[in-house]
Amino acid sequence: MSALQGVERSALATVRRGLSLTPEFRKGLAGTFALAMLATVGKVIVPIAVQQTVDRGLKDAVPDVPFIRDMVLVCAAAVVFTALCGYLMNVRLYRATESSLATLRVRGFRHVHDLSVLTQNSERRGALVSRVTGDVDQISAFMQWGGLMIIVALGQLLVASVVMFLLSWQLALLVWACFLPLMIVLPRFQRWLSAAYTRVRERTGDMLAAVSESVVGAAVIRAYGSESRTAERLDTAIDANKAAQARTQRIVATVFPLTEIVAAITLAAIVLLGVRLGVGGGITKGDLIAFLFLITLFVSPLQIATEVLNEAQNAIAGWRRILGVLDTPPDVADPGPQGVELPRGPISVAFEGVGFAYPGGPPVLSEVTVDIPPRSRIAVVGETGSGKTTFAKLLTRLMDPVSGRVTVDGEDLRRVRFSSLRERIVMVPQDGFLFDGTLTDNVRFGRPDATDEEIALAMTELGLTDWVEGLPAGLDTPVGQRGESLSAGERQLVALARAYLADPDLLLLDEATSAVDPATEVRLARALEGVTRGRTAVSIAHRLSTAEAADEVLVFEHGRIVQRGPHAELVAEPGVYADLHASWVAAAHS
Amino acid sequence: MASKVTSTVMRKGLRVLGVAIRAEKAVFTAAVLSSGVYGAMTVASAWALGWATENVVLPAFGAGETAAGAMSLALLLILGTALLKALGVAGRRYFAGVMQYRMQARSRRDVTRQYLRLPLAWHHRHPTGQLLSNANADAEAAWAPLAPLPMAVGVIVMLFTAAVAMVITDPVLAVVGFLIFPAIALMNLVYQRRLSPLATRAQQLRAEVSEIAHESFDGALVVKTLGREEEETVRFRAKAEELRDANIAVGRVRGLFDPVLEALPTLGVLAVLLVGAARLESGAITAGVLVQVAYLFTLLAFPIRALGWVLAELPRAVVGYERIHAVLSATGSMEYGAAALAADGPARLRVSDLSYAYGDFTVLHGVDFEVEPGRTVALVGPTGSGKSTLVQTFVRLVDPARGAVLVDGTDLREVARGGVSDVVSLVPQQTFLFDDTVRGNVTLGLPISDQDVWQALRLAQADGFVSALPSGLDTMVGERGTSLSGGQRQRLALARALVRRPRLLVLDDATSSVDPQVEAKILYGLRDAAAMSSASTVVVVAYRMATIALADEVVYLEHGRVADRGTHDELLARCEGYRNLVTAYEREEAEREALESDEEVSA
């Protein structure tokens, strides 16, 4: 499933669209460009100074020292001036690119949070992270080095060529004739190199995956004594990466010195033809010597050309990827200030002929119509894959239905402002994801302005004080990355406290206490029952008592509601619920 | 003080380079020889050009004719030096790269081997991100100076040759060179010294930006459902702007030094022209010499910066090397004995006065119980009572701080390497699948027939969904493969344990994501299998009554201590904590029914 819309664009259009998103970069670009050109002129000072010295300073048997002195001083002043231009250009360029890319990064980050793909498809999260990190870095690397080098290199070639043609058009043509074949084959080398670099990136990815597997899976590897098998897998990945790296080095080592040889051939040809021309009186010896210096200006742009072209390609790919994110319209969009504000108080929800399917996939929910009156307690039951969680995601507007509509207090969910919606309806997912920080930090995520006392009070009201006191540092205990220092059940406790503190009018629990021990779970359920009294509560249930306690049970099968009604009614009639109930009873009492 | 610190870093850095040179003698020699050729030929090419100017160009312009012999020699010299120089460059780049990549690969192998060798307790003390960066970024940083090192050695050859050549051609012009080139080298060193900490900081911030994005996107469900997108964006923006400022700081230093380093050799050439004119006037040198020295200056200007590159990378390399070294020299590795455990029949498990602590925080206190061969014991206790930690000691993922775990009377610490995992299988609470096929995930590389794999899958109630997968046993699962539901993943993990026919099977709440009906089938299957010849001793961590009911005996844990043990009925009768825990649902149900009937009465 490719949920991101990558609009096919040419390289130029991509860059243009990218630049239109970053006004900070375009501002003052002309000035930076002018400074770059001035800085480049500094490169031809040496050849001109040498030419002047040879032709005018050393014209006679006795060198014209005063002329040479004046000329050197003028040139030195020019060098200092061009260096200053170079400094100013660099500072402007860095400030402009970094500011614009920081903006782009933050826009990308914010936009990703608006895309439902984030909550639908966990496998793509890593790729989304790289859109706002690695891809942006790639653009910045190009803008500050490669892009600048293109300007400098082209400027250098241009200025050197102009000076050459002014000195001698024949020799200038000869230089171009020698370098042109190299310029023509360079793009081919670049393609090789680019393919080789792509391979390195892939192999590095494989290697990192292998290393990460060996670290994340440390317990399983040890428990099953499969250390040597893991070591083999690691070695294969590490060696493949090394081989790919060595391959790129072979290409670079071949291409890079080629320029030296071409330069030498050019030098030799210039000496040969220059001397002929000189004998005929067509050029001066200073002109010829100046050419020998000017040729060195051709070498460095061509030596770095393959790498610059490669970076340019990467940068354009980076632009494409980040534009792919920014140009994907938020499929679950916030209506913003025009949206409806829900008044506080018990909420009613209605599903009207709601259907849902992932793009290109089979229907996950079909024709779901149900009314959830205010203050009611609803239990949602069904086997894994029956559509329970999709129902929850539609109710919290993590996704929009493909057909039909969901209304809250009679308002289409799509018209309700996010700020209002998120305040009134809160879901506690099964996987209690925690952020790296303390217990308090994580609970406060539910309501950022909550005081420490309010958090402590929430824990007391939920009957979690005993558990908190048993932790090494109580509420200040760090939970570790993704909460991994706590057990699965403990994470669920924190996630529940977090939602409880948020104080919503409709609380949706998606098997939120499935990993908690029964006594704690019952205690929690009772506490929640107390606090949700007078509010609407929807629970995706994994055990009997939740369903029994509900006002109404919705039974899902294959994406449809196949049965509904109070527990007592449903259990009496043969059907999905009665079967489910029987297995629960068996599990609890056998 | 600062210079003392710096010189320590330099000394350490040189020692790191020494390690690499000793490890890759042949490659390093080839790289340095190539680079030496490159260095010498760079100077020689300037000399060739000077010779051509002196003996071909100037006479031709002076006399109006060319000497064919001199011309041929000049062309030969120009082309010959260039060819050798090109070969030198190619060799230098290739061998330097090979050396760097070999050392990186070597460090990565060593580090990952050590990860596999070190006990799990060590892993618990080190965050995953750090371990990944030891094997990746640190291995890269440690050997980064190897890429420019041969070039730097070549540059030293080049400078030495150039110095000799200049002194021979004209000592006065040589003085200009002796002023300019050390100035460039010094300036470059200052440059890299100033840049290095800033670049390291930018690198660090880049990692932090990525961490925030990772965490925020991973927690998207929480961020979204609580409507915290704006707060998250603020958090991300703060870090992104820190990175921006760090990058601009890097840019400012680069922006200043790059033009200066470019201008210095140009000023050097101008100085050569000025001084050279005076020397020409006094007849000390010829015009050809002047051109030659000026040309040499333009050629040397860039390579001399390689010295700075090496020196600049050294501090980062030292940090990377030391981090790797810390992993490689980490002690506390698990020691193994020589004892062997029997291969067949259910195992006898004895937990003897066992205590365990995470740092100062004791989670298990004097746990003591025994499981007879072939029996099934349920470990029951409230959330956070230490059950998962306890079962980890059964497979020797961690060693107890005090006391011991004994299988058939043998302390697990006495058992030879690999001996424990041959006999005991643990299915952990959190499922971990490898980026591999279904078969690979079940066998983990052991030579097990497909028939046995299918049998284990059947027992784990996984045969149904596996046969429906696109390529059956060969379907890739895990990171880049088919995504499986939590329950399906748990069933694969269970099959992984069952296929080994362990003598002691440990299930740590291993079926929590499986539907109750399926779980019941699995448990009945296990009991039937246990009744057959391949009986195992089973320890199961559980909350569900159905699971507990299968156990012959229950060990009830509370706050890291064995609060009671006995049959389910015995504990129910005498242990209040246990009764509260396992009958919580029933009591709740009963209370509700009572409440409802009250309501009916009152209504």
Contact, B354 vs B402, CB < 8 A? Answer: yes
Residue B340, in any domain of the structure: no
The pLDDT tens digits of the residues spanning B362-408 come to 889 999 999 998 888 999 988 778 888 899 899 888 889 899 999 99
Segment B275-324, tens digit of pLDDT: 888 888 888 888 878 888 888 887 777 787 777 778 777 877 888 899 89
Residues B507 and B572 in one domain: yes
Stretch A388-406: mean pLDDT? 89
Which residue in the set B241, B381, B516 is minimally distant from A587, CB to CB?
B516
In chain B, which residue's Cα lies nearest the Cα of A274? Answer: B57
Amino acid at B163: A
CATH class of A8-167+312-333: mainly alpha
Q: Which residue has the higher pLDDT, A531 or A469?
A: A469
Average pLDDT, whole number, for chain A? 84
Per residue in A200-258, pLDDT tens? 888 888 888 888 888 888 888 888 888 888 999 999 999 999 999 999 889 888 887 88
Quote the number of domains for chain B.
Answer: 2
Amino acid symbol at B331: T
Contact B252 A467 (CB under 8 A): no
Strand order in the sheet with A403-408: A363-372, A349-357, A403-408, A411-412
Q: What is the pLDDT of residue B534?
A: 59
Q: In this structure, are B365 and B221 located in the same domain?
A: no
* Element at B352 (helix H, strand E): strand B349-358
- Is there a contact between B585 and B595 (Cβ–Cβ < 8 Å)? no
Q: Please give, rounded to a whole number of angstroms, the shortest distance from the CA of A10 to a CA of chain B.
A: 29
- Residue B233: which domain range? 2-328
Q: A370 — phi, psi (to 5°)?
A: -160, 145
User: Considering chain A, what percentage of its residues have pLDDT values greater than 90?
Assistant: 17
Domain extent listing, chain A: 8-167+312-333, 169-282, 346-589
Q: Is residue B469 part of a domain?
A: no
The answer to whether A501 contacts chain B (CB < 8 Å) is no
- Residues near B184 by Cβ (< 8 Å), separated by ≥ 6? B261, B264, B265, B301, B304, B305
Is A285 an interface residue toward B (CB < 8 Å)?
yes
Q: In CATH, what number is assigned to the domain containing residue B112?
A: 1.20.1560.10
A251 to chain B, closest Cα gap in Å: 9
Name the DSSP letter for residue A330.
Answer: -
Is B200 found in the same domain as B63?
Answer: yes
| pLDDT surpasses 60 at B603 | no
Same domain flag for B354 and B317 = no
With respect to residue B498, please indicate whether it lies within any of the assigned structural domains.
no
Q: Are B400 and B406 in contact (CB under 8 A)?
A: no
B435 lies in some domain:
no
The CATH number assigned to the domain holding B367 equals 3.40.50.300
In this predicted model, what pLDDT tens digit does every residue of B404-434 receive, in sequence order? 999 999 999 999 888 888 899 999 887 888 8
Token match 């009134």: residue?
A424
* Interface touch B220/A261, C-beta < 8 Å: no
- Asked whether the CA dihedral A481, A485, A488, A493 is positive or negative, the reply is negative
* Residue partners of A195: CB distance under 8 A and separation at least 6: none
Size of interface A-B (CB pairs under 8 A): 476
Residue among B71, B222, B515 whose CB faces A433 most closely: B222
Long-range own/partner contacts, residues B123-128 (CB < 8 A, 24 or more apart): B123/A215, B123/A218, B124/B358, B127/A480, B127/A481, B128/A212, B128/A215, B128/A216, B128/A481
At B2, the pLDDT band (50, 70, 90 cuts) reads: very low
Residue B53 lies in a domain: yes
Q: How far is A197 from chain B (nearest CA, A)?
A: 14
Question: Model confidence over B149-177: pLDDT tens digits?
Answer: 998 888 888 888 888 888 888 888 888 88
Query: What is the pairing mode between strands B476-477 and B436-437?
Result: antiparallel
DSSP-assigned beta bridge partners for residue B558: B561
Looking at the domain that runs over A346-589, which CATH code has it been given?
3.40.50.300
Domain shared by B256 and B366, yes or no? no
Q: What is the mean pLDDT of residues B47-73?
A: 82
- Is the Cα torsion angle B137, B139, B145, B151 positive or negative in sign? negative
- B437 located within any domain: no
Among chain B residues, CA nearest to A75: B270
Q: Is B88 found in the same domain as B58?
A: yes
